[in-house]
Structure 1
Amino acid sequence: MAFQAAIFDMDGTLLESMGVWKDITTQFLNRRSIELTDADVRKFRDMTLEESLPLIVKMHNLTDTVEDVFAEFSALAADAYMNSIPMKPFAKEYIEKLHAAGVKIAIATSGYDKLCRGALTRLGVMDKIDAVALSSEVGVNKSNPDVYLLAARRLGAEPKDCMVFEDILIGIQGAKKAGMQTTAVADFSNADEWEQLKNAADRSIESWEELL
């Protein structure tokens, strides 16, 4: 499939980080003698921190303020992103391949700018990234096209010329609403909706090696 610009989700798409967010949430709740359930994991998976943290406080009747919870989550996440989270196998090589071919590359993430840039710099690919767009900048989650359109504008690319790589169903749906091409990327965290993802996207991959 021909495209002039590539827009990548980060967590679960480029990075092996979905398990880390589960671990962070588990650690946070364990400190308060609360168990993280599978239902909680499914509920929070597609949310931004701005969406999920107030819900965690409300669901568990915590005495913590949302600001305090955010600070604790941020500290736990920063350590992982800056020091230990790896890229998915062959993701770096694919980014390098696109960069060498002159394809413009953006990140569209529900995460945070500092964590995104810090992790990708440590992993040796930030110098290949031309733009970063955050869900927090547009004020809506990835079921909406806004963050993908922001990424395209920053790349100077038309939506129809963009390929979006995502590991969540609402991300594929949001990118489609933006008029972009889509690739579903397999991750352990999307196994329960993988068939839906494959059907919704223009194409799907189970390993980045397939695109080298």
Structure 2
Amino acid sequence: MFDQYQAIIFDMDGTLVDSGQLHEFAWTQTLNRYQIPIDRPLMRSLAGVPTKGTLEILLNKFALKPTASLDEMNDFKEQVVGDVAQQYVKPTALQKVAEQYAGKKPMCVGTGAYTEEAESIIAHCGMSHLVDFVVGADQVANPKPAPDTFLLCAQRMGIAPRHCVVFEDSRLGLEAAERAGMVGIDVLAELGVENDYFL
């Protein structure tokens, strides 16, 4: 189905990995701890935005003075994710796509999560052997919807952006793919993969 592309890029959360409930749990714990309101539609709209960026948007929206640094809040959320990941994460149907092309096309995960967290989650799902590279938000100056993440994926794989296909579940991610000059596949619309995150 995707033979015409030379390389494949997967977003992670809500795309290659069913982790919506993991992140909803971790965010709920974090926001409650630091007394930030939980706006479910807003949280869903921010899927794919790195943790610190999400916190900045929330603090600004609710005109809050933070009770802790962005680093502390980020570290707390990452700790929760690490503590409970195995209870929540599992591969989506896109695992079959990754298995089909493993060893035949270079594959990369380009995610708004930080690299260490992403590699841990992919390992929990038993898919580390399927992807060649992981590019997290900590590796680029500008996260999605900027094209930087996907352009770095293409660079790591040694494939021109126009020959890459990107699987994404979020509006921001699809915009990033378009800005990178790549074909973006909306996994909900095209493949029925839904991110169960603050629904």
Classify the TM-score, shorter chain: 0.7 to 0.9
1:184 is aligned to 2:170 = no
1:124/1:46 Cα in 2 relative to 1: closer, same or farther (>3 Å)?
Answer: closer
Q: Deviations over 1:126-155 (max 9, x none)?
A: 112111112332221211211111000100
> Matches of residues 151-190 of structure 1 in structure 2 within 5 Å?
151-186=153-188
Q: 1:95 aligns with which of 85, 98, 121?
A: 98
> Matches of residues 36-55 of structure 1 in structure 2 within 5 Å?
36-42=38-44, 44-55=46-57
- Number of equivalent positions: 190
Offset at residue 156 of structure 1 (A): 0.7
Partner of 1:77: 81
Partner SS, residue 64 of structure 1: coil
Q: Identical aligned pairs, as a percentage?
A: 25
In structure 2, C-alpha distance between the alignment counterparts of 1:62 and 1:142, rounded to whole Å: 24
Letter of the structure 2 residue corresponding to residue 93 of structure 1: K
Q: Which stretch shifts more, 30-39 or 60-69? A: 30-39
Higher relative contact order (CA 8 A, sep 6+): 2
In structure 2, C-alpha distance between the alignment counterparts of 1:45 and 1:84, rounded to whole Å: 17
Partner of 1:145: 147
Partner of 1:205: 191
Contact 1:57-1:66 within 8 A present in 2 as well: no
Letter of the structure 2 residue corresponding to residue 155 of structure 1: M
Offset at residue 4 of structure 1 (A): 1.1
Q: Which stretch shifts more, 60-69 or 138-147? A: 60-69
Given the two structures, how large is their TM-score scaled by the length of structure 1? 0.80
Aligned-residue Cα RMSD (Å) equals: 2.2
| Uncovered stretches (5+) of structure 2, i.e. residues with no partner | 195-199
Given the two structures, how large is their TM-score scaled by the length of structure 2? 0.84
